[in-house]
Structure 1
Amino acid sequence: MANLNLKATQENTYDAIVIGSGVTGGWAAKELTEKGLKVIMLERGRNLDHVTGYENATKPPWEFRYNGKLTEEQKAAHPKLARDYPYNEMTESYWMDDADSLYKEVKRFDWYRPNIVGGKSILWGRQSYRLSDIDFEANAKEGIAVDWPIRYKDIAPWYSYVEKHVGISGEKLGLPQLPDSEFLAPMEMFCVEKEVRKRIEKNFPGRTMTIGRVANLSEAKKEQMGIGRAPCQYRAKCNLGCPYGAYFSTQSCTLPPAAKTGLLTLRPDSVVTNLIYDENTKRATGVRVVDSVSMDVRVYHAKIVFVCASAMASAAILLNSTSNRFPNGLGNDSEQLGHNLMDHHFRTGAGGQWEGDLDKYYYGRRNNGIYIPRYRNIGNDKRDYLRGFGYQGGGRRGNWMHNVAELSFGADYKKEATEPGPWSMGLGGFGETLPYYENKMYLDPKDTDKWGMPLVVFDAEYHENEFKMREDMANDAAEMLEAAGVKNVRINKGESFMGMAIHEMGTARMGRDPKTSVLNANNQVHDVPNVFVTDGACMTSASCVNPSLTYMALTARAAAFAVSELKKKNI
């Protein structure tokens, strides 16, 4: 990464500013620099070098003192981060401390904020699916919220564009509710999964089970190898950072080509507090930044600004960008900024045991599972709720711990302890959340963090529609597994709170009318045409599929539009 200028330069004016270095920030930097723009990327987190920065990625398990678990002291010091699995001994250094990531909750909200260059692109689950016209048309057909200003045909070429660079392994299905991608070879299903698939599809026509569509290279094409990437090593350590570049991350996929242009300046430790608006030109002229270490304040100027800080952080920055023209936040004439907050609801499904196949195992540690696409409220299927859900899950064999409770000893015990346990199979639903205006985040009028940013306050929850859907998510999973021959099936109805799925969306939604939305069809702020928001904040509805691939496609599309408009001197 020698081409990256990591030090602040004397020059503080650029063609473009990119706020955030995650999935969308990386794509914005790549696309804008490759199109000839001089870009500064501002990231609030510390620098994280590719390969050498992933300190835990190549450590053997015995070098971790607590095998990835948290101590009681760590839990006490991080009461919010410690609520769920993303924060653990192995990934602790990637997340912001609770003491720095202050926020308030009217209702519980789990906000996971990375503190590194690359953001959640280092830590994400990599499941990559396209939205369909069923998703883009749903709001309009059902009279929910506002209509998307785009349709599948508008974004389909951009899905293909980013997929060829990212590398998505998966299987073509030809389903209208889940359009196929530009696929690398699919990862192989385990023997149990193959059999369960046959039986589900036989007993439930219209339901399909496939291998997960994942941004891990099952094979490396010329384009991927050209930027230093290699095929997946099946180590199942993706959340620690991949030194092989086998999955999509900013460091492995979008920073290298951006750096190669010589037009990118990366500035970590840079907390963007607000955009600066010029009431004469009706444009944003730049951003105000607080150095997270020195606390120095700087201002950077640019012709265009891409706000890619994450759904929550982007909305917070816009809400904090007040002026005479926009007293309630930049581009917030509609009063929609911060509202319509969405996240997928999950943690409900079923699992059980699979008898037999004890002579079969699998190669490596496949960090991917199976996927069952949405089938509810499609075609003639009508439920007492709107939208639908998909399933993620898979089969696995138990480990040596299945034998801990046994009283045997000696050679036979030792032999048995080296053999894997029986197979199990599970399905967990991911359901769509509707865009409710009352689900919101806003800025506290008094309290700020140590960098002067007002604290975010969350007031959002799941509603009756989601709770009705969750009943089907649990019962359908059990029904399918039982029909497939899985034994001792148990339903799991765990709790799911907003933010927990880390698929936050909707706080600066796209729409056709400036009176009811923040962004237009090109991800431009309606009344500030040189500001673009392309992360999860822009989503008008949530679908039920993992959203990151859509963010990438929208970012590449918006970057192409922005450069075209710059050349035409329209912005």
Structure 2
Amino acid sequence: MSKFFYNQEAESYDAIVVGTGISGGWAAKELCEQGLKTLVLERGRMVNHIEDYPTANMDDWDFPNNGQLSREEKAKQLKQARTGYTVRAQHNFWFVDDLVHPYNETKRFDWMRGYHVGGRSIMWGRHSYRWSDMDFEANKKDRIAVDWPVRYRDIAPWYDKVEAYIGVTGENLGLPQLPDGVFEPMMELNCVEQHVREKVSEHFDGRVITAGRVAHINSDKQFEGKNRMRCQYRNRCIRGCPFGAYFSSNSSTLPAAEATGNMTLRPDSIVHEVMYDPDTKKATGVKVIDRVTKETYEFKAKVIFLCASSIASTSILMQSKSDRFPNGMGNDSDQLGRNIMDHHLGVGAGGRFEGFEDKYYKGRKPNGIYVPRFRNLGGSSNTDKFIRGYGYQGGASRGNWENTIKELSHGKGLKEEILKPGGWNFGMGGFGEVLPYEDNRMTMDYDNLDQWGLPTVTFDAEFKDNEWKMREDMKEQAVDMLEKAGLKDVQPFDDPGALGLGIHEMGTARMGRDPKTSVLNGYNQIHAVKNVYVTDGAFMTSAACVNPSLTYMAFTARAAQHAVQELKKGNI
């Protein structure tokens, strides 16, 4: 990608984008393609598509100790390990060292971070769902927090644009709670998934099982650029995809930005403050610390996009203090850092299926099933136990090793058992909406500084009554569906963990109609500083129950167009 800029002198650009993940990549692409000379700043190391995916083509047996890390290596990622999957030699290098990047917990918070070019767009789960008007109107209807300043019709064209560009597999279902989209061919269900789909449809009105809508190319359609082709069904996505089959900044938006000749990419650049001019009431640029040398720089621009992730972008705003903003840039409402949300998960059910022993599947499908929300949609779907709703993700597969242990086989019997696939198993786990609570918050600790002399983040957030009541229903309905679908030995599970475990942290600089109760307006601008846009998860006013990245991308593309138009008009 572009050469890095290391000049000590303050350099001026049309735009600065902070962060290179899902949102930052889209901001860079859109601003560069519309002619703005754009400086893209990433706090972590450089990662080039393909050449910097070191384990992408390795088999599991290529890793010493079956991919298990040493105790010394594990000690560096004790918080990262809470996900249950990050601490593996196949991909642990994407996740930060907790000792180098500490944070504080008044209450447990699982903050999973990747500091490198591409951010978590390399490791994300890729599920991509649209919000509906039901989601955008929910706060107003329930008198919770503040009303969203936008509705589905405002964002629908941008969902179209993003889906067509990134490639999302799925099927159109005609469900009001999960709007249809511009899809690649759906990834096929396997035979047990299809069976459960049919049985659930037979026994439950209004419940649908479909394939997950995931950001993978699943056709021979030519996508923009030379870095992307159809999914190879290897299911090694988290290591980095050399085929570019799933969407990432590294394979897609950043190369598109670079192709314009308008992007300057500078990794190892820790942004810690947005500079403010009280005379113009605008931001003038950002202050940066070089991650490696710890030298300091200032870069200037006409417009600034904060896309560093929900917590990081808000941390930057909190540190951007001035006479005008003594408590952080844009914090007139005292909402900066508040209303932390995520999705609660780790609850559902699983069981075994007797039948289809003569059936198997081909390849390693990087996707399973999805059950769209069916609670509190009106009529018999409503419950008075909790508000909002949840969906499920899951799937069916065949084991291939259990029977080798049962009888402690050896010799010829062991060989025969190893070569036979095991029985079918099916599991489903819920993803529930977390409400925005003003006292679920983050603050900055200036007594505990990191190695760059910057304050660390302290989390004080938790699940509350609505989430706990919802979880009971998530567990009960999962058991009911699987039992009616004919599964045996159905067992519920419920391991709540804590906020952050869904890796969908959002809120902290919410969007709203009133500057007295929100940080951003309906175009992602800070109410009081119009040339600063925040388009990562920080802007979220509520959480819905679907994976949020598609919504971040749609809002980012929309905000970028707005910024260009406002620059041309001389408004920012």
Q: 2:120 aligns to what?
A: 120
Matching of residue 514 in structure 1 with residue 512 in structure 2: no
Q: 2:173 aligns to what?
A: 173
In structure 2, how many angstroms separate the alpha carbons of the residues matched to 1:388 and 1:554? 23
Identity %: 56
Does the 8 A contact of 2:228 with 2:251 survive in 1? yes
1:220–1:504 Cα change, 3 Å: farther
Matching of residue 458 in structure 1 with residue 456 in structure 2: no
Question: Could you tell me which amino acid in structure 2 is paired with residue 159 of structure 1?
Answer: Y
Question: Could you tell me which amino acid in structure 1 is paired with residue 256 of structure 2?
Answer: P
Question: Could you tell me which amino acid in structure 2 is paired with residue 125 of structure 1?
Answer: G
1:220–1:459 Cα change, 3 Å: farther
In structure 2, how many angstroms separate the alpha carbons of the residues matched to 1:535 and 1:450? 26
Matching of residue 422 in structure 1 with residue 420 in structure 2: no
Q: 2:275 aligns to what?
A: 276
Q: Using the TM superposition, give the Cα deviation of residue 256 of structure 1 relative to its aligned residue in structure 2, in angstroms.
A: 1.2
In the TM superposition, what are the counterparts of 1:52-91 in structure 2 within 5 Å?
52-84=51-83, 85-91=85-91
Secondary structure (helix, strand or coil) at the match of 2:14 reads strand
In the TM superposition, what are the counterparts of 1:452-531 in structure 2 within 5 Å?
452-531=453-532
Does the 8 A contact of 1:220 with 1:229 survive in 2? no
Q: Using the TM superposition, give the Cα deviation of residue 11 of structure 1 relative to its aligned residue in structure 2, in angstroms.
A: 6.5
Q: Using the TM superposition, give the Cα deviation of residue 349 of structure 1 relative to its aligned residue in structure 2, in angstroms.
A: 0.2
In structure 2, how many angstroms separate the alpha carbons of the residues matched to 1:203 and 1:82? 39
Does the 8 A contact of 2:82 with 2:501 survive in 1? no
Q: 1:551 aligns to what?
A: 552
Divergent runs of 4+, >6 A? none
Does the 8 A contact of 1:66 with 1:89 survive in 2? no
Secondary structure (helix, strand or coil) at the match of 2:65 reads coil
Q: Using the TM superposition, give the Cα deviation of residue 480 of structure 1 relative to its aligned residue in structure 2, in angstroms.
A: 0.2
Q: Using the TM superposition, give the Cα deviation of residue 7 of structure 1 relative to its aligned residue in structure 2, in angstroms.
A: 3.8
Question: Could you tell me which amino acid in structure 2 is paired with residue 6 of structure 1?
Answer: F
Q: Using the TM superposition, give the Cα deviation of residue 112 of structure 1 relative to its aligned residue in structure 2, in angstroms.
A: 1.0
Question: Could you tell me which amino acid in structure 2 is paired with residue 107 of structure 1?
Answer: K
Q: 2:390 aligns to what?
A: 389
In structure 1, how many angstroms separate the alpha carbons of the residues matched to 2:89 and 2:39? 33
Q: Which runs of 5+ in 1 are unaligned?
A: none
Q: 2:448 aligns to what?
A: 447
Question: Could you tell me which amino acid in structure 2 is paired with residue 141 of structure 1?
Answer: K
In structure 2, how many angstroms separate the alpha carbons of the residues matched to 1:281 and 1:292? 31
Secondary structure (helix, strand or coil) at the match of 2:101 reads coil
1:401–1:6 Cα change, 3 Å: farther
In structure 2, how many angstroms separate the alpha carbons of the residues matched to 1:66 and 1:553? 42
Does the 8 A contact of 2:10 with 2:300 survive in 1? no
Q: 1:246 aligns to what?
A: 245
Instruction: Point out the more displaced range, 547-556 or 96-105.
Output: 96-105
In structure 2, how many angstroms separate the alpha carbons of the residues matched to 1:77 and 1:119? 19
Secondary structure (helix, strand or coil) at the match of 2:457 reads strand
TM-score (norm: length of structure 1): 0.98
Does the 8 A contact of 1:307 with 1:534 survive in 2? yes
Question: Could you tell me which amino acid in structure 2 is paired with residue 184 of structure 1?
Answer: E
Does the 8 A contact of 2:446 with 2:454 survive in 1? no
Q: 1:8 aligns to what?
A: 6
Q: 1:570 aligns to what?
A: 571
Q: Using the TM superposition, give the Cα deviation of residue 403 of structure 1 relative to its aligned residue in structure 2, in angstroms.
A: 1.5
Q: 1:324 aligns to what?
A: 323
Matching of residue 140 in structure 1 with residue 140 in structure 2: yes
Q: What CA deviation, in whole Å up to 9, does each residue of 1:307-339 have, x standing for no partner?
A: 000001011010010000000000000000000
In structure 1, how many angstroms separate the alpha carbons of the residues matched to 2:220 and 2:500? 34
| Root-mean-square deviation (Å) | 1.1
In structure 2, how many angstroms separate the alpha carbons of the residues matched to 1:523 and 1:402? 55
Q: Using the TM superposition, give the Cα deviation of residue 96 of structure 1 relative to its aligned residue in structure 2, in angstroms.
A: 1.6
Secondary structure (helix, strand or coil) at the match of 1:336 reads coil
Q: What CA deviation, in whole Å up to 9, does each residue of 1:137-171 have, x standing for no partner?
A: 00001100000000000000000001110000001
Q: Using the TM superposition, give the Cα deviation of residue 407 of structure 1 relative to its aligned residue in structure 2, in angstroms.
A: 2.9
Secondary structure (helix, strand or coil) at the match of 2:66 reads coil
Secondary structure (helix, strand or coil) at the match of 1:183 reads coil
Q: What CA deviation, in whole Å up to 9, does each residue of 1:520-568 have, x standing for no partner?
A: 0000000000000000000000000000000000000000000000000
In structure 1, how many angstroms separate the alpha carbons of the residues matched to 2:442 and 2:74? 25
Secondary structure (helix, strand or coil) at the match of 2:13 reads strand
Does the 8 A contact of 1:227 with 1:256 survive in 2? no
In structure 1, how many angstroms separate the alpha carbons of the residues matched to 2:408 and 2:143? 63
In structure 2, how many angstroms separate the alpha carbons of the residues matched to 1:369 and 1:101? 34
Secondary structure (helix, strand or coil) at the match of 2:374 reads coil
Q: Using the TM superposition, give the Cα deviation of residue 401 of structure 1 relative to its aligned residue in structure 2, in angstroms.
A: 4.2
Secondary structure (helix, strand or coil) at the match of 1:159 reads helix
Question: Could you tell me which amino acid in structure 2 is paired with residue 155 of structure 1?
Answer: I
In structure 1, how many angstroms separate the alpha carbons of the residues matched to 2:298 and 2:143? 43
Instruction: Point out the more displaced range, 177-186 or 446-455.
Output: 446-455
In structure 2, how many angstroms separate the alpha carbons of the residues matched to 1:78 and 1:244? 29
Q: 2:48 aligns to what?
A: 49
Q: What CA deviation, in whole Å up to 9, does each residue of 1:3-29 have, x standing for no partner?
A: x12242567111000000000000000
1:218–1:402 Cα change, 3 Å: farther
Instruction: Point out the more displaced range, 492-501 or 369-378.
Output: 492-501
In structure 2, how many angstroms separate the alpha carbons of the residues matched to 1:417 and 1:558? 55
